[in-house]
């Protein structure tokens, strides 16, 4: 759900939070009007590189929860030494990684 909607000239400064935890993680949505923004975003996506990563307590359970909600993953939970990751498609041209470090 939208938390902040602040006009900044031609654009807005928008943040989103989960309706289940309004005091939780707040995601800032940035305008993509800079000439380098769209080619950079497309190149990361084409190369399978996540734009950002969120640490979670249990990648497998988050993967299952989000898949049940219809989220499409490009990488299922994968163990890489002490780290487990999964990658989802945010449907806006970005890949998002979920990760957990068991150090």
Tell whether the model's pLDDT for residue 101 goes beyond 90.
Answer: yes
Beta-strand ranges (E) seen in the chain are: 2-8, 11-16, 27-29, 52-55, 73-80, 83-89, 95-101
Fold of the 48-103 domain: 2,3-Dihydroxybiphenyl 1,2-Dioxygenase; domain 1 (3.10.180)
Give the pLDDT of residue 59. 98
- 16, 34, 84, 93 from 55: Cα distances, Å: 17, 29, 10, 21
Give the pLDDT of residue 103. 80
Q: What are the tens digits of pLDDT across the range 35-82?
A: 999 999 999 999 999 999 999 999 999 999 999 999 999 999 999 999
Give the pLDDT of residue 83. 98
Mean pLDDT of the chain: 94
Q: How far does Cα 49 stand from its chain's mean position?
A: 12
Which residues lie below 8 Å from residue 63, measured CB to CB, with a gap of 6+?
A: 73, 76, 77, 86, 98
Domain limits, the chain: 48-103
User: Which structure tokens are listed for 82?
Assistant: 């002490």
Q: How far does Cα 70 stand from its chain's mean position?
A: 15
Tell whether the model's pLDDT for residue 32 goes beyond 90.
Answer: no
Which pTM does this prediction carry? Answer: 0.84
């Amino acid at each position: 759900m939208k938390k902040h909607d602040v006009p900044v000239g031609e654009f807005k400064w928008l943040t989103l939070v989960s309706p289940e935890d309004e005091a939780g993680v707040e995601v800032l949505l940035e305008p993509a009007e800079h000439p380098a923004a769209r080619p950079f975003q497309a190149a990361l996506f084409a190369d399978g590189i996540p734009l950002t990563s969120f640490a979670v307590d249990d990648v497998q359970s988050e993967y299952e929860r989000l898949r049940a909600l219809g989220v499409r993953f490009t990488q299922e939970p994968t163990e890489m030494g002490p780290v487990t990751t999964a990658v989802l498609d945010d449907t806006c041209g970005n890949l998002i990684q979920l990760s957990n470090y068991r150090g």
